[in-house]
Chains A and B, each alone.
Chain A
């Protein structure tokens, strides 16, 4: 029984790692997975075999994450790879993404669900363009916790001076970004210093090892428990004898807390009612909050369907058809078109939208705005755009709520997902 209790005490931390081939990212992930006993013998044997066949000197841990044929052939990570490991404290989901600029869209995808980002810096090279780009993407996607791992400390004689200089450089750059929580950890992924165990080679460093930090970083306040929002996903109508009049509004709580008796308002109709009950197959609940999937029943019979939003009368989301957002473009086949029409998906709704204006795009390396002449937003570009939606949207700013503040754009002819947007 105690075994189960422990397992049920674990919470979940999603983090992202972005990096390029030679900065030691795969070694770091490999080290975390090895030392937490997540890599299995048959996996290790398989990558040993492939490494030998490829002529690599050491076991190439990248082969663990690079699963697709094309990735193995070209020796690069193309896509986001999801990896899992657990300690008795937490379960971790790693979104491992390639670091080069041509994979910005993959980094954005991986970052969209992460609570924490690990940025790797080569101690010999210090802060480079790529570090800045990754930090910018992490803050743009509202990742609240950033860990700057200064790697390859073994190659700079575990020098405190080198470490301090990199920390200062990064702090100077980061002052232009809005980062809630930054930590700095000097590591050697290859030698295992400060990854799982604290290293004796850097007595001047008084912080925790990386794994300890990942296990203990407090992620509670990241979710919005203030603004009650339930985007209705599905209306449950059993039509059975036993539940004849049951009409449950099913969905995943996107923010705030709902309790039986709470006064609620339904958008777009504006009708108000009270929460009658919060139902699950395991029994009724006293309250529901993000990210629970529940079904609410209301005191009054109101016409509610998928795409409607249940909120509270004194705390409504914004309602509007002119949406200002930061957009990251994903499609290699086409660029964002001025006056272009797309399908916009937001919470559980889909509608048409029109591109009204492209204000500027951002040079993701320097953070400079590019707004001269005709600004074209193409593959991997990030820019500020205004959209006109065919119907009013019920939204919060992305800063306030990741669920009700995010959208994707879909090409109406090819059905491909062409962009992701964060509402300002």
Chain B
């Protein structure tokens, strides 16, 4: 009998992610999955279901809600939570603002993106989560290229990029002192294309805003921003109706759309494979400085 005993690369990545998720359940007392409603966190949840099937996944979902959402994402989130019978915990940035924990940015490019960090850390602390699983990938951004699968955070929730634990083979060290926690990234080795191909292969549902639709937008610093109640349109800017879709799903004030006619998963995949810009190229939050992502991560960002 001819036999190759080899796995294709997506099966390999799937198996690795399942291994990481099972390690998370085993090494931590109270883990949670950070769920944004975006495609990466949808894939993480799907993998977590696979890892513990036929039992339920031992993780609640935590959504840090800036209040500046695309409606479609929230509707999708609620439907998915109901379908898989997960427990959902929502941390509201508005609560952090009301409690005086953070001060809202002002000005044209005001965004609640940075404020999320405080709400995230407060939510983890309130529910005593000792690890939070996220969908970040190393191919997304240069600071993320240096992330570990098990990423240690000190008692202030901070990441120390120069003092990370070496990770060899598949031996993950999740030991920590009290008050410290971990971020876990099962999709570390996935690329944007891997995520899309996996979504197609597994026939996963994703929010409609990933597909082409007509929407009112303004162009600002080369990024197309959706006109929502949260965006202050400047006098110099013109609101236009365009056929767009989103490559990432985040806070509505800093996530840009791209012009696209891709209405199906197949079309999106063709578009991604021909893309000449990284997906985070549409994020204004990364454009604030060369090390914007590293600086936010150090403070405890996703």
Contacts and interface: CB of A to CB of B under 8 A. Distances in A.
Interface stretch (A81-89, A157-165, A202-210, A387-395): A81-89
A91 B189 CA distance: 11
Contacts of A113: 168-169
B19 interface: yes
Interface in A1-50: 3-4, 7-12, 40-43, 46, 50
A406 B169 contact: yes
Given A42-B277, A234-B26, A420 B200 contact: no
A360 interface: no
Interface in A384-424: 402-403, 406-408, 410, 415-417, 420
B168 A109 contact: yes
A11 B143 contact: no
A240 B26 contact: no
Given A9-B8, A291-B16, A348-B26, A68 B54 contact: no
A8 B9 CA distance: 7
B19 A240 contact: no
Nearest to B144: A67
A100 interface: no
A275 interface: no
Contact of A84 (B11, B141, B177, B191): B191
B288 interface: no
A11 B193 CA distance: 15
Contact of B15 (A43, A68, A70, A252): A252
A105 interface: yes
Interface string B160-175: 0110111111110101
B276 to A, nearest CB: 5
Interface in B154-212: 161-162, 164-171, 173, 175-177, 188-189, 191, 193-194, 197, 200-201
Given A68-B146, A417-B166, 18 more contacts: A3-B270, A4-B197, A10-B9, A68-B161, A80-B146, A83-B145, A84-B138, A91-B9, A223-B5, A238-B54, A238-B55, A252-B15, A279-B53, A279-B54, A291-B15, A293-B19, A293-B51, A420-B168
B294 to A, nearest CB: 6
Nearest to B275: A40
Contacts of B275: 40
B79 interface: no
A69 B5 contact: no
Nearest to B16: A291
B200 A65 contact: no
Contacts of A41: 276-277
Nearest to A105: B166
B67 to A, nearest CB: 29
A70 B170 CA distance: 27
Interface size class on chain A is 35 or more
Interface of A: 3-4, 7-12, 40-43, 46, 50, 64-70, 72, 78-84, 86, 90-91, 93, 105-106, 108-109, 112-113, 220, 223, 225, 233-234, 236-240, 242-243, 246, 248, 250-252, 257, 279-282, 289-293, 295, 306, 330, 343, 345-346, 348, 402-403, 406-408, 410, 415-417, 420
Contact of A82 (B164, B188, B193, B277): B188
B18 A293 contact: yes
A86 B176 contact: no
A82 B145 contact: yes
Nearest to B291: A69
A239 B161 CA distance: 42
Given A40-B278, A64-B142, A242-B54, A252 B176 contact: no
Contacts of B6: 11, 220
B269 interface: yes
Contacts of A295: 53
B15 A250 contact: no
Majority secondary structure, A binding face: mixed
Given A240-B55, A252-B170, A281-B49, A7 B197 contact: yes
B12 interface: yes
Contact of A236 (B52, B294, B295): B52
A68 B161 CA distance: 8
Contacts of B4: 220
Contact of B145 (A65, A105, A250, A257): A65
B25 interface: yes
A81 B5 contact: no
Contact of B173 (A46, A86, A220, A410): A410
A281 B200 contact: no
Contacts of B173: 345, 408, 410, 415, 417
Contact of A40 (B5, B270, B276): B276
Contacts of B13: 12
B140 to A, nearest CB: 11
B193 A281 contact: no
A257 B5 contact: yes
A72 B19 CA distance: 33
Given A237-B55, A281-B49, A306 B168 contact: no
A408 B276 contact: no
29 contacts: A7-B193, A10-B9, A11-B6, A11-B7, A11-B8, A12-B7, A12-B8, A12-B13, A42-B278, A42-B281, A64-B142, A65-B145, A67-B146, A69-B291, A109-B166, A225-B5, A239-B55, A250-B52, A252-B18, A252-B170, A280-B53, A281-B50, A281-B53, A293-B14, A345-B171, A403-B170, A406-B168, A408-B166, A416-B165
B155 to A, nearest CB: 13
Contacts of B270: 3
A3 B201 CA distance: 12
A408 B194 CA distance: 30
Output the residue of B5, B162, B275, B278 with the most chain A CB within 10 A.
B5
Contacts of A240: 54-55
B59 to A, nearest CB: 13
A64 B162 CA distance: 18
Contacts of B54: 236, 238, 240, 242-243, 246, 248, 279, 281
Given A8-B8, A72-B291, A406-B171, A67 B165 contact: no
Nearest to B166: A109
B171 A407 contact: yes
A403 B15 CA distance: 15
B23 A233 contact: yes
Contacts of B197: 4, 7-8
B239 to A, nearest CB: 25
B5 A220 contact: yes
